[in-house]
Amino acid sequence: MKNILFYSKLFTIVYLFSYASCSNSSDATTSEGTPLPTDTISYTDEELLNIVQNDAFKYFWNYAEVNSKLARERYHTDDNSFESNKITTGGSGFGLMTILVGIDRNFVSRSEAVSRLTTALDFLENADRFHGAWSHWIDGNTGNVIPFGADDDGGDLVETSFLCQGLIAVREYFKNGTFEEQALAQKADDLWKGVEWDWYTRGEDVLYWHWSPNYDWIKNFKLEGYNECLVTYVMAAASPTHPISATAYHQGWARNGAIVTSGTKYNIPLIFNHNGATGTVGPMFWAHYSYLGLDPRGLTDQYANYWNLNKNHTDIIYQYCINNPQDWVGYNDKCWGLTASYTRNSDGTTGYTAHQPNNDKGVITPTAALSSFPYKPDAAMRFLRYLYEEKKNNYVGVAGPYDAFSPQYNWVTPRYLAIDQGTIAPMIENHRTGLLWNLFMQAPEIQAGLQSLGFSSTQHGF
């Protein structure tokens, strides 16, 4: 790959990958229990941003599933486990956008990326689909569905919407390029237009998350706000082939206006009722997944100003970590961020949970702060410096920051999840140049879909 000498060419410093041998119970010490040394190298802001974006890019390039070239669900460096050939649909959508960042940042050549993306989209064309939607997990060898859980062996509309967000960005990036690039753009266009969004309403004024040919609508999970699913409604309204009505958005997602709240936390307006988080906010990924492409700057509808919504969400999580009501060791203005990720179980093993103020386990997840650069850049930069200048040996591995760590328990999990690594490079790039926001928001279908739901955007002129 042509970016092997990237750092030595771009910077005058030598960037070394050195990380701890890790276990489930403690990964911040040597096998003898001696604390690992911290780093003393100092970087400029631009150097740090390039480094962490390139590191996150590696997850989707160096560690992609071999056959499909899409994103593996996870990678455990402690046992070298890739979860076999398990592809994640939503994480692959984030990976498509990460690769576009990689092209713009010269982490990979444009021609290499076009070849890789063509293979990936050819695979998606032949993978199992359920009224156009892909499943949550896909077998990278066969394209067959891998059940996500009980009764969940069919279409996952939310994961599909995350993938389609990436397909729109790919189309817009390559649509005026070479013959091969235009063919790739057309493939991306055909794939997203094949999703039968209207099927997933069941004839009602709301979208449903799942449908299975074996279990039908047994999951019975309506997409009702507020959580990570806003972009699902945007994609469904934007579809030129299988659109939903605006009524589904207003009655289903917005709950006839009940999505709005006048509540505050730390004197910061909540704006929306966050599902399952009465009086506070949910995990940070709710301000990331839908907004890799959907630009919240100047975006409003009758319910919210979406920049204020996400900025306030970030400010509340940050303030919560500063206040640190549970007195966890390590929480401060440079070590903050709660979101869904791996976690430390009470017995010291590794689990998974959605960290948030009402579910705080003393675990910090790097993607929470790093993907919040657009909303709180100074605090995000302090966290980035903490990771790479103070704790790189402890908390950073072969594909960037590990998924989660806890100073309280001297614990880090040396593992990666696609959906967590996948928001880092795109959201940082949106902060730096607006690349993914501009690509997604320039799509005529997206503008038309947003307007049909009552949105306007001062940033993008509609």
Q: How far is CA 193 from the centre of its chain?
A: 22
Q: Write the burial class of residue 159 (CB in 10 Å: 0-12 exposed, 13-18 middle, 19+ buried).
A: buried
pLDDT per residue over 135-183, tens digit each? 999 999 999 999 999 999 999 999 999 999 999 999 999 999 999 999 9
How far apart are the C-alpha atoms of 396 and 120, rounded to whole Å? Answer: 28
Lowest mean pLDDT, pick from 9-18, 142-151, 211-220, 294-303: 9-18
Domain ranges of the chain: 6-457
Cis peptide before 226 (omega within 30 of 0): yes
How far apart are the C-alpha atoms of 179 and 176, rounded to whole Å? Answer: 9
* Enclosing H/E stretch for 183: helix 179-193
> Does domain 6-457 match CATH 1.50.10.140?
yes
- For residues 391-405, give the mean pLDDT: 98
Helix, strand, coil % in the chain, rounded to nearest 5:
40, 15, 45
Q: Which amino acid is at 87?
A: I
Say if residue 19's pLDDT is above 60.
Answer: no
How far apart are the C-alpha atoms of 70 and 120, rounded to whole Å? Answer: 6
Percent of the chain with pLDDT over 90: 89
**Structure token digits, residue 16:** 């070394």
**Structure token digits, residue 405:** 């760590």
| Whole-Å CA distances, 445 to 97, 192, 236, 305 | 19, 11, 10, 21
pLDDT per residue over 216-233, tens digit each? 999 999 999 999 999 999
- Tell me what the pLDDT averaged over the chain comes to: 92
How far apart are the C-alpha atoms of 233 and 452, rounded to whole Å? Answer: 11
Say if residue 120's pLDDT is above 90.
Answer: yes
Say if residue 353's pLDDT is above 90.
Answer: yes
Question: What end-to-end distance do the CA atoms of the chain give, in Å?
Answer: 41
**Structure token digits, residue 5:** 């000498």
Select the more confidently predicted residue: 106 or 28. 106
Lowest mean pLDDT, pick from 23-32, 82-91, 342-351, 425-434: 23-32
Q: What are phi and psi of 439, to 5 degrees?
A: -60, -50
How far apart are the C-alpha atoms of 153 and 215, rounded to whole Å? Answer: 8
pTM of the model: 0.91
Say if residue 20's pLDDT is above 50.
Answer: no
Q: Output the pLDDT for position 82.
A: 72
Q: Output the pLDDT for position 79.
A: 82
**Structure token digits, residue 234:** 């945007």
Q: How confident is the model at residue 348 (pLDDT cuts 50, 70, 90)?
A: very high
**Structure token digits, residue 416:** 């990666």
Q: Output the pLDDT for position 41.
A: 74
- For residues 2-9, give the mean pLDDT: 35
Say if residue 18's pLDDT is above 70.
Answer: no
- CB-CB contact of 144 with 138 (8 Å): yes
For the chain, how many residues are written? 462
How far apart are the C-alpha atoms of 197 and 317, rounded to whole Å? Answer: 33
Nearest alpha-carbon partner for 341 in 359, 326, 355: 355
What region, left, alpha or beta, does residue 397 occupy, with left being phi > 0 and alpha being psi -120 to 50 degrees? Answer: beta
Q: How confident is the model at residue 40 (pLDDT cuts 50, 70, 90)?
A: low
**Structure token digits, residue 159:** 């994961």
* 335 bridge partner residues: 332
Say if residue 3's pLDDT is above 80.
Answer: no
